Amino acid sequence: MDDINPATGARIDTYETDTAADIEAALARAADAANDWRDRPIRERERHVAAAGDVLRENTQTYAELITAEMGKPITQARAEIEKCAAVCDHYATHASAYLQPDGHPSPAGADVQTVYEPLGPVLAVMPWNFPFWQVFRFAAPALAAGNVALLKHASNVPGCAEAIADVFEAAGLPAGVFQTLLVGADAVEDVIRDDRVRAATLTGSEPAGSAVAATAGETLKKTVLELGGSDPFVVLDDADVAAAAASGAWARTLNSGQSCIAAKRFIVHTDVYEAFRDAFVSEIDSLTVGDPTREETDVGPQASAAGLDTTHEQVRASVDAGATVVTGGQPSDREGAFYEPTVLTDVPAGCPADTEELFGPVAAVFEVPDEAAAIAKANATAFGLGASVWTADRDRGRRVARAMDAGCAYVNQPVTSDPRVPFGGIGRSGYGRELAGAGIRAFVNRKTLWVE
């Protein structure tokens, strides 16, 4: 695996991929470790998860610099990612025991009936490059606290992050085999899922990758959780605070250089405030600092790869050819590296890429709608269903509109986010299952009915 810095095109390092023998050894270690780890007291497992959070905090700058080098995230956002990983460790170190308390049920006299939560065993996690620490830790912290063991197949362009994460858990004192990294390509995933020692799988990534994992797991009757792409609507109603919505929307569209599944992507604006929002939004986009992701003032860094940049530009060109108007941006940046200009498209016609596809770069599509009903209809005119955001001065109205939008999570007067305290996941082409909170830790457990007469 060649590790390439997308901001410069320079090779960082080259990693040897694991052989078939390496994979077999890892699976054997995972199976052995699972038998011991599941029997450890949950308070002990919580302490190890808490220790992982401490390791992250002690090495925040080192890990942030690694993220920035491997996939181009601006350094301030990379530090925030590490801090969020530490927070999810704190959350499950504090709440895992409560989340996994047995649930009682009505029962006949003399009987005690409960649902108890027991770990499944080794779980394969297939993770993406865009949040190379966070995506892993939001799976690993609850899964490990619940008594499972983890095998990480990370994206091939962040091998350094993959190995660093394994080092975090080793430094946190986890026994050998409880968390392991497999440096393998996508072609190895199917065989790992089919292995009898692997009991479940989770994937965050593209729809094709999710479909492939789900198909293999389905054939072998194994539990899966999938968090896939999104084309999240950002609805601005006629009574919204336009300035606040524009500022938040610009941040929500360009966070991580636009490479986020839950980024605001389709801006759906009531006609009464359309021009005011468009102008304020474009002003916010144009004010962003694009450049070297290692500099503190940078807001938007490079795309994670040249291929990703090319895909984004092809989608923009196809949308413009179909009739969309470029208000700002619309081209790769005239600089070294995989940089794309923050872009705003208006007059977006139905059926073009900016209308129907996930734009995984700093490109916003802005739509004008005549009323609230049309805004809801446009928000739901997608096969995706990850997140949604609505902006209004009326909280009750916001609640009503949010309830009407087809998404796994909906936010009023706030951009979509993932928070350890609340369940996270999507519907439709955005996947299924839930991560985080109690739902997340119970995703990979056996919900066993225990009837004692």
Q: What residues are annotated to the active site?
A: 227, 261
- The Cα–Cα gap between 348 and 346 comes to 5
> What are the backbone dihedrals phi and psi of residue 136, each rounded to the nearest 5 degrees, phi first?
-70, -45
Strand pairing of 264-270 and 363-369? parallel
- Give the C-alpha separation, 453 to 451, whole Å: 6
> Cβ distance 201 to 124 under 8 Å?
yes
With b for 16 or more beta-carbon neighbours within 10 A and e for fewer, the 33-42 pattern comes to bbeebbeeeb
Tracing tokens 């609230």 back to the chain, one arrives at 372
Q: Which helix (H) or strand (E) holds 448?
A: strand 445-452
Other Cβ atoms closer than 10 A to 58: 13
Helix (H) or strand (E) holding 451: strand 445-452
Strands 179-182, 200-204: pairing kind: unpaired
Residue 214 region, left (φ>0) first, then alpha (ψ -120 to 50), else beta? alpha
Q: What are phi and psi of 143, to 5 degrees?
A: -65, -45
In whole angstroms, give the CA distance from residue 430 to residue 132: 19
